[in-house]
A and B are shown apart, each in its own frame.
Chain A
Amino acid sequence: MSRTGKFSPVELASHAGDDAGTPRAGRRRVFLAGARRRVAVHLIERLLADPDVEAVLAVDRGACPPTLMGCDPERFVFAPADLSRRRQVDNLFLLDRFRGKPFDTVLHLAFQGNPHGYNFKSHEFNVNAAQHLLEASLRHGVTKYVFLSSDAVYKLGPRNDYKVREDAELNLDPSAHPILRDTLDAEFICRAKMDDPTCEVMVIRPSGVFGGGVISGINLLFESNPPVLPVGFDPMVNPTTKERLSRDLMLAISLHGKGVFNVAGATIGPLSRFFEERGIKPIRVPGPALKLANRLQRGLGMTRYHAAFHPKRLYYSLVLDDAKFERVFRANAEPVMGIERGGDEVE
């Protein structure tokens, strides 16, 4: 702390609350927005396997994912809703089932982050859903709010740090992709409420996520046939997996802590090595031809990766420093996810 008693920027970034890392009291009643995402499906399965989770309300547009159809109806409810409508969001908090025992945790994973088919409605949804969900959470006495952001919010370039901390420069370039601007808008909405005394507001910035069916940049790149990379560049990355991310989200739900947190995988290495490990042979093209090659590939159905979304991603390293999350959450995982509780082992 500085001599004036205020936190310096770096200290502020690592400040996660006085009781950070201690288990939250009581049983969890979780509102999960964006239930159709692969990470969400995995997380719901984890939540329902935890005896300390009393009930889960999963919300998304459209029908319930088939893998969640067989979940215990006593503890799991799926509700279709449009989160960009304030009234619909409020109604979810007033469901008969949860009126007597309101939610104590809200997880906001409902973000339209796929550049394919992005339009003004997607923008409205992204920003309004973030706003309505957070406001409703604060109104209805939720004590923990978690927003799953993205590592794309960081500014990328040749002067990047070898590990990017939460207080690193953000990409506020007005010409950045609109999804990126939406993500930052949603983050800023959360950050504006981070000093709320009753609710711990958390923003989690995961590195690229691997996993079957996951719509993340790195996963779509790896699913491409073949992946196309710029010649002469080999950025360092530390992607995570949907299993690891859902475990980290479980920790975020189970333990006290607020603020902005990076979460990433344990392995750091050059992108080319990750390809080698998986036996994938990428094609390399000169940098200026990359966007054209990507557009051509998309047109031919050979990839769903969108090179224009985060154009510098394949050129410059982005290794997230998740030491803060490690210290506050993973280091205290034992009481809430220990083997004796039937949960996962602690890595």
Chain B
Amino acid sequence: MRLLRSKRVPLDMLRPLLPDSEWERVRAYPVQDMGLGTDAFGTRRELLGFAYALGYWLHRSYFRVVSSGHEHIPSSGGGVVVGNHSGVLPFDGMMVGADVFRYTEPPRLVRYMVDYFVYQLPFVGAFFRGVGQMPGTRRNFDGLVEEGHLVGIFPEGAEALGKLSERAYELYPFTHGHVELAARHGVPVVPFGLVGAEEQQTMVRDLQPLARALRLPYFPITTTFPWLGPLGLLPRPSRYFIRYGAPLRIDPGALHSIDVRRREVERVRDAVAELIREAQATRRQYAGGSR
């Protein structure tokens, strides 16, 4: 009842949701209080704790994430985390966020550049902001990197979430923004490949006219949605495999030449594609081993 009555959920109330070691990670994460319990980006520790409790459970028990290459994630300072996107609902972003938070020391939060439509939705936008996720603008990127945060970008865009199942693990063209911004700030791009999200939903069709009418990037028709109502959007518990690659230093020439920028974007895209292949190989080994 106390949870329902007060908007300020005491952090201690979340304690039963996490093991002690993870609880300490939430407490240790630095949120620079700007006077009313949030940082300048709107991050609230109690919401972060709640989201991590949910993410931790999904990470450990539902998607049973297998990940490697955490040593490539910078332990301090700014950086850009870039990877593939899929699965109708962005559980892949949540799992990468939970994975990085769980396996970095000190704990690091990946702050994604989120599509604008999210912030038009009641509750959802406020929740995303409360857990440190920002609308994808250049100024937001600048602010996050200048303050030494890890910024997460899906350069395929939100449309990639609505990828049809026949195009599984096919990378959409990457936008150029992440390369340009990484070059401008001189921060590394950490690529990752994620396998498993494509199997959580089987996307049959994208109803674009309805998506446009609802101002959404896609409107999914899956084997379960809309037939089972909102429950049909719940993902199948397919195991996730995440692999982080070595940080890529972006050629500063990307700021002055479109050719260099294009080449650098392709380099990042190739790195992500290679990591997806490696993660798929791990999955095959895993499946073979468990048999």
Contact = CB atoms under 8 A, between A and B. Distances in A.
Q: Do most interface residues of chain B lie in helix, strand or loop, or is the interface mixed?
A: mixed
A233 B42 contact: no
A160 B38 contact: no
Contact of A233 (B36, B126, B140, B143): B126
Contact of A276 (B7, B118, B121, B136): B7
Interface residues of B, number: 30
A162 interface: yes
A232 interface: yes
A163 B140 CA distance: 8
Contact of B139 (A161, A269, A276): A161
Nearest to A266: B35
Contact of B38 (A158, A163, A231, A236): A236
A162 B36 contact: no
A223 interface: no
B135 A160 contact: yes
A316 interface: yes
B61 interface: no
Interface in A220-235: 230-234
A158 B120 contact: yes
A163 B124 CA distance: 21
A267 B37 CA distance: 10
B3 interface: no
Contacts of A234: 126
Contacts of B38: 236, 268-270, 273
Given A161-B143, A162-B143, A268 B126 contact: no
B117 interface: yes
Q: Which of A157, A161, A165, A231 has the most CB of B within 10 A?
A: A161
Interface string A233-252: 11010100000000000000
A139 interface: no
A316 B137 CA distance: 15
A233 B125 contact: yes
B143 A158 contact: no
Contacts of A238: 34
B8 A267 contact: no
Interface residues of A, number: 30
A94 B62 CA distance: 80
A287 B121 CA distance: 11
Contacts of B8: 276
Nearest to B42: A236
Contacts of A270: 36, 38, 42, 44, 126
B36 A267 contact: yes
Contacts of B118: 158
Given A272-B7, A287-B122, A158 B116 contact: yes
B35 A268 contact: yes
A273 to B, nearest CB: 4
B40 A268 contact: yes
B53 interface: no
Given A236-B129, A269-B36, A159 B42 contact: no
B36 A159 contact: no
B60 to A, nearest CB: 30
B254 to A, nearest CB: 18
A274 interface: yes
Contacts of A165: 139
Contacts of A232: 121-126
B40 to A, nearest CB: 5
Contacts of A160: 135, 137
B41 interface: yes
A274 B44 CA distance: 15
Interface string B94-121: 0000000000000000000000111111
Interface string A164-203: 0100100000000000000000000000000000000000
B118 to A, nearest CB: 8
Contacts of B135: 158-160
Contacts of A268: 34-36, 38, 40
A230 B122 contact: yes
A267 to B, nearest CB: 3
A280 to B, nearest CB: 13
A162 B40 contact: yes
Interface of B: 7-8, 34-38, 40-42, 44, 116-126, 129, 134-137, 139-140, 143
Given A160-B137, A232-B122, A273-B36, 5 more contacts: A158-B117, A159-B136, A159-B137, A163-B143, A232-B126
Interface of A: 157-163, 165, 168, 230-234, 236, 238, 266-270, 272-274, 276-277, 287, 316-317, 319
7 contacts: A158-B118, A161-B137, A162-B42, A163-B143, A231-B122, A236-B129, A273-B36
